[in-house]
Amino acid sequence: MTTIPSITDNQLPVAEDPQLAPIRARIEAGERLSFEDGLVLMQSPDPWTVCRMADQVRRRMHGSTAWYNVNKHINYTNICALSCSFCAFHRKRDQDGAYEHSLDDIRREAMNAVEAGATEVHIVGGLHPWHPFDFYTDMMQEIRTCAPTLHIKAFTAVEIVHLARISKRGRDGYDGILSVLRDLKEAGLGSLPGGGAEVFDDRVHDEAFKGKIRGDVWLDVHRAAHELGLNTNATMLYGHVEKIEERLSHMLLLRRQQDHALASWATAKGIELKQDPSELTSDAVVLTGPSSSYPNGRLPQLGETSMGWFQTIVPLPFIPDDSELQHLPGPMGLENLRMIAVMRLMLDNIPHMKAFWIMHTLDMAQFMLQNGADDIDGTVVWYDITKVEGSGTHQETTVKDLCRAIREAGFVPRERDTLYRPVSRDGQSWKLAEA
């Protein structure tokens, strides 16, 4: 099998677009990129150099490893109190195709996941208008009881805010969110997925998902989760009504919040903090710099800090089919590749970058592994939120196909659990492996 030669710290590709040369120099020095750098990366006529720079950074952080996991998605209902215009998933209760799963259904799904060898269930749904708060804590407890080996990654930020409202804690703002998350964590919640972030901009919010929480509230939910020691993911849904400046502002807001989440870890590790050119502060935790900046390990590990952090960024292309915004074209392959690369370069303090194959196809995800991504997600089985045209809700791939895709892209496949601990496996049974 042919392997792609790796690019070491000192072998950055020569930039064809002269505007990229100073950016390349900053990346080599482990400096943080500015908003203006981001604009250049987004608009350069030479996307391949942008992609190669992202690949170089990705290899500094993860070497030749590419991660996958064995997981199962459970969408407990598509009935939703809101009707976001970009969303083709939601239904009203009396509409064709509306469904809601009982706790028994969910328990069965969790046990099926264990039998199939999954390490994780990923649970999200619509904002169900009538379920009481207990339904959600019972869901966590049921899964923890019947499937104690499964990590429960559940509930996007908008669902957490909905749960604060229905449990009469909505008026308590940040404290209400904190208290809801504390109850869910006690019941078995292990981490939060990153969905629902869309684009942090009020104009975009009002045009495409009015009624849903704004960016500051999404960030508050994740800040509260981090405060409780829960790791979370972050997303950006791009390619609808937003401008590229708004995409970059979104990235910068995530980056600032992550600086705060990692501050105590960085201090304890004696990591030199960098200048943040956008905020003019010198408290940036840059994880993408050369190896010499991180003699004691580049990425935060579980147990090294009581805070949680954003562990993975997941760029999500907008897929217009069947939504109220279906007149929009949605992004295509090259733009999707460039977004992966730009986000890897700009989000220098988020450890992992996921190529979510279910929205990009496995074929595209292979390319993305060579352009900044180090994670190809998992076996999934059932996914009902957004689909590539022509695919059904039953979307499953095998470990064999994930590993083949990774190897063909020139990387070494490694199974992980939700928290990026390596897993060793014998058929359906698995255990955490030595790092």
Q: Which is nearer to ligand SF4, 199 or 368 (CB)?
A: 199
Q: φ, ψ for residue 378 (rounded to 5)? A: -130, -160
**Cβ pair 423, 416 in contact under 8 A:** yes
Q: Which is nearer to ligand SF4, 271 or 316 (CB)?
A: 316
**Cβ pair 412, 369 in contact under 8 A:** no
**Distance between first and last Cα of the chain:** 26
Tokens of 145: 């009881």
Q: Which is nearer to ligand SF4, 205 or 414 (CB)?
A: 205
157 is a site residue for ligand SF4 (CB under 6 A):
no
Q: Which is nearer to ligand SF4, 208 or 355 (CB)?
A: 208
Please give the Cα distance from 40 to 23 (Å, whole number).
9
369 is a site residue for ligand SF4 (CB under 6 A):
no
387 is a site residue for ligand SF4 (CB under 6 A):
no
- HEC string for 360-376: HCHHHHHHHHCCCCCEE
Stretch that binds ligand SF4, among 78-86, 165-173, 256-264, 278-286 (CB under 6 A): 78-86
Closest separation in Å from C-beta 92 to ligand SF4: 10
Closest separation in Å from C-beta 365 to ligand SF4: 23
Closest separation in Å from C-beta 63 to ligand SF4: 37
With CB under 6 A as the contact rule, the residue among 106, 158, 163, 359 that binds ligand SF4 is: 158
Tokens of 307: 């805070």
DSSP character at residue 64: T
Residue 226: CA atoms inside 13 Å, Cβ hemisphere, count? Answer: 24
252 is a site residue for ligand SF4 (CB under 6 A):
no
CA distances to 34, 38, 138, 174, 253 from 279, rounded to whole Å, are 9, 15, 43, 24, 11
Stretch that binds ligand SF4, among 34-42, 61-69, 81-89, 248-256 (CB under 6 A): 81-89
Closest separation in Å from C-beta 355 to ligand SF4: 22
126 is a site residue for ligand SF4 (CB under 6 A):
yes
With CB under 6 A as the contact rule, the residue among 4, 12, 39, 82 that binds ligand SF4 is: 82
To which residue do tokens 């449990």 refer?
167
Stretch that binds ligand SF4, among 76-84, 258-266, 333-341, 374-382 (CB under 6 A): 76-84
Of residues 208-247, which lie at the interface with ligand SF4 (CB under 6 A)?
212
Q: Which is nearer to ligand SF4, 158 or 234 (CB)?
A: 158
Of residues 321-340, which lie at the interface with ligand SF4 (CB under 6 A)?
none
Closest separation in Å from C-beta 109 to ligand SF4: 19
Stretch that binds ligand SF4, among 3-11, 86-94, 272-280, 344-352 (CB under 6 A): 86-94
- Which of helix, strand or coil describes residue 236? strand
Q: Which is nearer to ligand SF4, 83 or 293 (CB)?
A: 83
Closest separation in Å from C-beta 323 to ligand SF4: 9
**Cβ pair 227, 260 in contact under 8 A:** no
Query: Per residue in 106-120, is it b (16+ CB within 10 Å) or e — as a string?
Result: bbebbeebbeebbbb
- Closest C-alpha to 150, from 105, 100, 106, 180: 106
Instruction: Tell me which H or E stretch contains 103.
Output: helix 103-115
Q: Which is nearer to ligand SF4, 156 or 258 (CB)?
A: 156
Q: Is 415 left (phi over 0), alpha (psi -120 to 50) or beta?
A: beta
164 is a site residue for ligand SF4 (CB under 6 A):
no
Tokens of 3: 């392997």
Please give the Cα distance from 158 to 16 (Å, whole number).
43
Size, binding site for ligand SF4 by CB under 6 A = 11
Within 270-429, residue ranges assigned H as helices are 333-346, 357-360, 362-369, 399-408
Please give the Cα distance from 314 to 156 (Å, whole number).
13
Please give the Cα distance from 318 to 240 (Å, whole number).
6
84 is a site residue for ligand SF4 (CB under 6 A):
yes
Q: Which is nearer to ligand SF4, 126 or 239 (CB)?
A: 126
90 is a site residue for ligand SF4 (CB under 6 A):
yes
Closest separation in Å from C-beta 94 to ligand SF4: 16
361 is a site residue for ligand SF4 (CB under 6 A):
no
205 is a site residue for ligand SF4 (CB under 6 A):
no
Residues that bind ligand SF4 (CB under 6 A): 80, 82-84, 87, 89-90, 126-127, 158, 212
